[in-house]
Amino acid sequence: MILRTHKLTKHYRRTKALDQLDLEIDRGMVFGLLGPNGSGKTTTLGLLLGVLKPTSGYFEWFGKTPTADARKRVGAILESPCFYPYMTAMQNLAVVSTIKECSMSRREEVLEIVGLFDRRNDPFRTYSLGMKQRLAIASALLAEPDALILDEPTNGLDPQGIVEIRHLIRYIASMGKTIILASHLLDEVQKICTDFCVLRNGEKLYQGSVVDALNEDIRFEIASQDLLQLAAIARDFQSATVIEHEKDRLVVSVAQGVTTADLNAYLIDRGVIVTLLKERKGSLEQQFLNILAEDD
């Protein structure tokens, strides 16, 4: 177990920024903290890094109460990248190495990992926003942490920068690192994370794996020459739970284990020839909205 929180709580007078949060994050996970603005994501990360003190509850890193040595095993980026603009990447990382009391010899290695080795001797001010973010990740990797915390790692980046950071996070995860990230970009979390939780108003509404969440909702898109007839027949399909009209097609929600072949066979038996039949892949965005709706 990399991280466990038990009823972790943070209040600011009457405001509950975080309320009795229970989390368990295992080694190798890429864990996403999701939630609207003000849901408690950044507060959670601040508590886990010792920047904030909890009102009540506690948390453990690596199965133990946090210590200064334990926190050295956790790399983090909480704010926008902040380096000396006139210094090169190598010089800036030398400063960070001194502060973290880790070896200078890691600088070129981490710059290779984040794809900045060829720009290692260029001033920080000449870097794009995406490059600045990658340098921040390189600095977080200097002390060879077991876990990495990232707060909105793709915030403000252009599409190319988002893709670069996404690939970098996947690569770092493949090295055996555990990654905890907060984000409001649900599509990015779906593409990066193995597990996630949903926070709202400081409370945890859901925790589970991305794969399981996407598999909870199986839907098919179907169409024929007569949509009204198709809808009437589809309603009697025993596995259909919800049927929605979308322009020139129907969207049919079905139970776990039902395939396109099952639905197609049912329609053929009733003389319906479809012009469209395909599975609609689930999205984390839809599941996120469903989770929030269930809590209302």
Q: Identify the structural domains of the chain with CATH numbers, from first to last.
A: 3-213 (3.40.50.300), 216-295 (3.30.70.980)
Fill in the DSSP letter of residue 282: P
Which residues does residue 245 pair with via DSSP β-bridges, in sequence order?
A: 250
Which helix (H) or strand (E) segment holds residue 254: the answer is: strand 249-254
| Closest C-alpha among 43, 2, 38 to residue 23 | 2
Give the C-alpha separation, 10 to 41, whole Å: 12
**Amino acid 25: pLDDT:** 95
Q: Which two tokens stand for residue 33?
A: 């903290």
Reported as a single tens digit per residue, the pLDDT across 140-182 is: 999 999 999 999 888 888 888 889 999 999 999 999 999 999 9
| Percentage, residues of the chain above pLDDT 90 | 54
Give the C-alpha separation, 66 to 68, whole Å: 7
Phi and psi at 199, nearest 5°, equal: -110, 145
Contact (Cβ atoms closer than 8 angstroms) between residue 24 and residue 36:
no
Fill in the DSSP letter of residue 105: G
pTM for the whole thing? 0.77
pLDDT exceeds 60 at position 296: no
Give the C-alpha separation, 241 to 34, whole Å: 28
Contact (Cβ atoms closer than 8 angstroms) between residue 179 and residue 150:
yes
